[in-house]
A and B are shown apart, each in its own frame.
Chain A
């Protein structure tokens, strides 16, 4: 069950690269885990650490206060590639609660929403403003579908059901299990029952 999301005010971390794929967010060699926890230390691992495991100098992700920087602003086509849900798990465990880009990959969006990480797609102009101001304070107001920073107010859209789940703490799987009778009927009517 994800933590509910209503309104978040926090500073941004900016990663301007286009097409940051989920292999960058968490490299495959960290996927042998059988739990969801503790992946934040592996988030963007190859961008943050040298081959010997020592932190690279001058990398903001190693120095920034994650508690006060909970919004990631990333280049176009964010989180493309592999369907690994380890990507949102790693970002959340690192400390992010929202990601802002012009385009965010389909599977990542679905995975992120199920874990309480809010993916927000904005227009190019807004995106450029945010890219140009690393560390800016932004407010993400899911109740009003608004992103506010400086004197800017920008609307955004989140799939209505996912939005309700985040605002009200509705549990996806529980909601589906409540509809299991419809599934049984569908199976019966379509000859899909167990042999």
Chain B
């Protein structure tokens, strides 16, 4: 707090966490040093960072605040009879081995192939209780905003910065502007956090969050469970914001309690008291405010090649406003002013750091139970972590998916980023619970529609983009 600032100045949640982690304040000449509580690493964005610090003779300063996992380049099919994993290329295998070697050398815990803790970085870290309210969490991955669901400042960094954190446990940062996104009312049945995220991004615009830290607030956000809040915060980058956060409440505290790396006993109670104090003060000013009515959000599907190109399932694709819209519609093979629900779907992907958690698996299974995937549709269900895989198998969800005709795979990023060999073929239409519908994101020439897990499951059954509510009602009346 500067000496001129009255003690009573109301603060945002972001301000409170940010100020608590400033090592040296920013000046007009230089950014501040921001302390990092938790640094998550994976195989894709870390090798050059280790090489950089080693070339300077530097050590990993806090291996105890660094945690690794294998997720992006990893095959989701099991090893063959000889025990060999079906890596897409030798280079992918070598990348995984490089992280294994770097973690062993620097004393960093790695949730590797033989670990029950392994999973997509943004699924496994919260599951293990590594992610806690009030932290600064970073990772060389733009979906790090996921951890903001716990009231942490969590954002993606580049590989040079991965090196900075490895060597100093800090980042050079200037404070971003703050935007509050308030979603009033309650979501209607059959509408999920993913639909809310797509509706918010459609409202803010793809680059609309650039330069801002988001806080999600309002009755509909409070009403989400922790997994829903993770889905919501995960997509913050798709509006251009580096981070998004939700103030901790009783749900947050209970979710963290008892997890492997969470504080225990009295230490937990003290931490919980501190966590619950992390909220935006009445009267705190935001640089921008956005408001949505949660009760008006319907199941969403994208029609274009940016995540903000979302509309209610069954609504017509819009008339193009510019050349970019025209290019997007043309790439997707959709017609202006016509619903996208009439097109046959080739692939359905259920998984990713956005929607690879247990509630997502249940939402999809509830619709697929006792039904068959439409002939000709390839359906891949990929749990977000070994823990999700085990829990889903314990509930028999894997059998629900395979009986319906879907593939049940091993945990990983899989077809969301399509760098492990799980790819959509050129020209195919893929309906996906992941986070990006860019041209070629799921494979060269792949056409991607972003939806919720329930909508993905309904689509798998129908063979075209479908509103999950029709299926959910049938279940309810059965």
Q: List chain A positions with a Cβ less than 8 A from chain B.
A: 17-19, 21, 23-24, 27-29, 31-36, 46, 51, 75-77, 80-85, 103, 105-107, 110-111, 114-115, 159-161, 164, 172-173, 176-177, 179-180, 182-183, 186-187, 190, 192, 194-195
Indicate if the CB atoms of A34 and B169 lie closer than 8 Å. no
Indicate if the CB atoms of B419 and A31 lie closer than 8 Å. yes
Determine whether B28 belongs to the interface, using a CB cutoff of 8 Å to chain A: yes
Q: In this complex, what residue of B is CB-closest to A82?
A: B142
Which of B122-130, B291-299, B363-371, B434-442 has 4 or more CB atoms under 8 Å from chain A? B434-442
- What is the CB-to-nearest-CB distance from A135 to chain B, in angstroms, rounded to a whole number? 21
Indicate if the CB atoms of A180 and B168 lie closer than 8 Å. yes
Q: Residues of B within 8 Å of A, CB-based: how many? A: 71
Q: In this complex, what residue of A is CB-closest to B73?
A: A32
Question: Known contacts A31-B44, A32-B73, A83-B140; can you find 9 more A-B pairs with CB under 8 A?
Answer: A17-B327, A24-B438, A29-B418, A80-B206, A81-B436, A107-B142, A176-B168, A179-B168, A183-B169
Residues 20-55 of B, flagged 1 when their CB comes within 8 A of A and 0 if not, give 100110001111010101000000110110011100
A105 cross-chain contacts in B, Cβ below 8 A: 207, 210, 240
Indicate if the CB atoms of B157 and A23 lie closer than 8 Å. no
Give the number of A-B contacts (CB < 8 Å).
175
Indicate if the CB atoms of A23 and B160 lie closer than 8 Å. no
Q: Report the bound CA distance from A161 to B48 in whole Å.
A: 23
Indicate if the CB atoms of B324 and A183 lie closer than 8 Å. no
- What is the CB-to-nearest-CB distance from B287 to chain A, in angstroms, rounded to a whole number? 15
Determine which of A35, A106, A192, A195 lies in contact with B35 in the assembled complex, contact meaning CB atoms within 8 Å: A192
Determine whether B203 belongs to the interface, using a CB cutoff of 8 Å to chain A: no
Q: Report the bound CA distance from A161 to B51 in whole Å.
A: 25
Q: Report the bound CA distance from A63 to B324 in whole Å.
A: 25
Known A32-B419, A159-B174, A192-B35; contact A183-B44, beta-carbon cutoff 8 A: no
A80 cross-chain contacts in B, Cβ below 8 A: 206-207, 240
Q: In this complex, what residue of B is CB-closest to A18?
A: B324
Determine which of A23, A159, A172 lies in contact with B440 in the assembled complex, contact meaning CB atoms within 8 Å: A23
Indicate if the CB atoms of A19 and B160 lie closer than 8 Å. no
Determine which of B37, B58, B441 lies in contact with A177 in the assembled complex, contact meaning CB atoms within 8 Å: B58
Indicate if the CB atoms of B242 and A107 lie closer than 8 Å. yes
B163 cross-chain contacts in A, Cβ below 8 A: 173
Known A17-B324, A19-B306, A186-B23; contact A114-B419, beta-carbon cutoff 8 A: no
Determine which of A24, A51, A85, A195 lies in contact with B64 in the assembled complex, contact meaning CB atoms within 8 Å: A195
Known A32-B91, A172-B164; contact A107-B31, beta-carbon cutoff 8 A: no
Q: In this complex, what residue of A is CB-closest to B144?
A: A83
Q: In this complex, what residue of A is CB-closest to B169?
A: A183
Q: Report the bound CA distance from A36 to B436 in whole Å.
A: 25
Determine whether B470 belongs to the interface, using a CB cutoff of 8 Å to chain A: no
Determine whether B98 belongs to the interface, using a CB cutoff of 8 Å to chain A: yes
Q: Report the bound CA distance from A111 to B47 in whole Å.
A: 16
Indicate if the CB atoms of A34 and B47 lie closer than 8 Å. yes
Q: Report the bound CA distance from A167 to B145 in whole Å.
A: 33
5 contacts between A and B (CB under 8 A): A17-B327, A84-B44, A103-B210, A110-B158, A179-B168
Q: Report the bound CA distance from A19 to B208 in whole Å.
A: 12
Q: Report the bound CA distance from A34 to B90 in whole Å.
A: 12
Determine which of B52, B98, B176, B438 lies in contact with A173 in the assembled complex, contact meaning CB atoms within 8 Å: B52
Determine which of A34, A81, A106 lies in contact with B242 in the assembled complex, contact meaning CB atoms within 8 Å: A106
Interface of chain B residues 56 through 100 with chain A (CB within 8 A)? 56, 58, 61-62, 64, 72-73, 88-89, 91-92, 94-95, 98
